Amino acid sequence: MAEHGAKLESAVEDLVTGEDWIRAIRFAANFRSRSFGNTLLIYVQHHQAYLEGRVPEPMPTFVAGYKQWRKLGRSVDRGQSGYAILAPVTRRFATTDPTDPRSWRRLDRGEKARPGEVVRSKLVGLKPAYVWDLSQTSGRPIPEQPAPQLLRGQAPEGLWDGLAAQVEAAGFTLSRVPNAAAIRGVHGVTNVQNKTVKIRADVDDAAAVKTLAHELAHVVLHAKPDGMINVMHRGIAEVEAESVAMMIGASYGMDTSDYSVPYVSTWSNTVADAEPLQVVRATGERVRRTALAILDQLPEPPVGDGLPPGLDSPAPSTTARNGETPASRVQRPTGVPEPDGLQPRVPPAAR
């Protein structure tokens, strides 16, 4: 576990520039069935296997566990080492009062709860688990997935409507404005207090969808029901929204080459009382989980999630796959500047 943890920390440390982060998010979009930390572990170990001549391509295609490959009629080739990831260890706990954290008691294996008790599974630790890339296995062919074909400027059918429906379901009013001048020179703007989202109309469909995904991420991540804004830091809020939009676009085969993210070393060092590596890992997992929640309400993405076709993708859970505290539960400090395009936390008249 210490060795795998050090390997993960090294992978996080390698995310130095904005381009490094973008590549990591693009990769995570193709392997979104895994936690952000585990996608980094898969990436670095597969790359090392490529350098050693054990796999034919520098990028993995589909990864799965030993028994999962067997279920698909394939077996791991002799001499192929698996890629270590961090899997959660859970145990069952019971209580008659779920609101009292001290009342939970751990159930032994096979033990049943008493009458009137509520039972929940909780994370108690981590353990190494291993996955193998398709190229490390042999056997029955897996079904081929058709690659999405989008013309320049074209957006996937139904994506705008699906994103717009989620904006409106959150209680926000969505509208199009004639040009960037109508919204202070930006592509889109979210006003949390007035519950409005505005997107410029003088752009192609792909650009409009990307902007809408960005603003929806702000709505999901940063808008509180009382009209206040929930952000960790101005720069990180924009990184989160842009990364969610990029992950959604990549899941539909859209061109993500024009996305821009500031240097990781800039925004990860600006959160008080937090180590930069922790900020990077929490941000990556928060982005992944938010993108999954949005994708779950959209038409089926044509780009796979890293699991071989024929295996069911596990539903997102409240516990991160690598045992980290889910990014949605990371304590976010207040009293920091707000993201560009969002209104101030307190109206000027109330300051």
Q: What is the pLDDT of residues 126-160, one digit of tens each?
A: 899 999 999 999 999 998 776 667 767 889 999 99
- Helix 205-222 vs helix 276-295: angle between axes, to the nearest 10 degrees? 110
Q: Provide mean pLDDT across the span 304-318.
A: 67
Residue 335's region, left for phi above 0, alpha for psi from -120 to 50, else beta, is left
Q: Provide mean pLDDT across the span 310-323.
A: 46
Report the pLDDT value the prediction gives residue 132, as an integer from 0 to 100: 97
Report the pLDDT value the prediction gives residue 349, as an integer from 0 to 100: 28
Report the pLDDT value the prediction gives residue 343, as an integer from 0 to 100: 30
Query: Which of residues 63 and 329 earns the better pLDDT score?
Result: 63
Residue 327: pLDDT band by 50, 70, 90 thresholds?
Answer: very low
CA dihedral angle for residue 44, residue 48, residue 49, residue 55, rounded to 10 degrees: 80
Given a cut of 90, whether residue 45 has pLDDT beyond it is yes
Given a cut of 70, whether residue 84 has pLDDT beyond it is yes
H or E segment at 63? strand 63-64
- The distance of Cα 68 from the centroid of its chain, to the nearest Å, equals 23
Q: In the chain, what percentage of residues exceed pLDDT 70?
A: 85
Residue 258: pLDDT band by 50, 70, 90 thresholds?
Answer: confident
Half-sphere exposure of 309 (CA within 13 A, CB side): 10
Nearest CA among 18, 46, 33 for reference residue 312: 33
Mean pLDDT check: name the lowest of 35-39, 271-275, 303-307: 271-275
Report the pLDDT value the prediction gives residue 303, as an integer from 0 to 100: 87
Q: Rank 46-60, 211-225, 319-333 by mean pLDDT and report only the highest.
A: 46-60
Q: Provide mean pLDDT across the span 103-107.
A: 94
Given a cut of 50, whether residue 329 has pLDDT beyond it is no
Residue 21: pLDDT band by 50, 70, 90 thresholds?
Answer: very high
Report the pLDDT value the prediction gives residue 151, as an integer from 0 to 100: 64
Report the pLDDT value the prediction gives residue 330, as an integer from 0 to 100: 29
Residue 188 three-state SS: strand
Report the pLDDT value the prediction gives residue 61, as an integer from 0 to 100: 93
- Show Cβ contacts of residue 84 under 8 Å, excluding neighbours closer than 6 positions: 4, 7, 41, 45, 128, 129, 130
Which residue bears the tokens 């859209």? Answer: 254
Given a cut of 60, whether residue 245 has pLDDT beyond it is yes
Report the pLDDT value the prediction gives residue 232, as an integer from 0 to 100: 62
Given a cut of 70, whether residue 338 has pLDDT beyond it is no
Report the pLDDT value the prediction gives residue 231, as an integer from 0 to 100: 67
**At 175, which amino acid appears?**
S
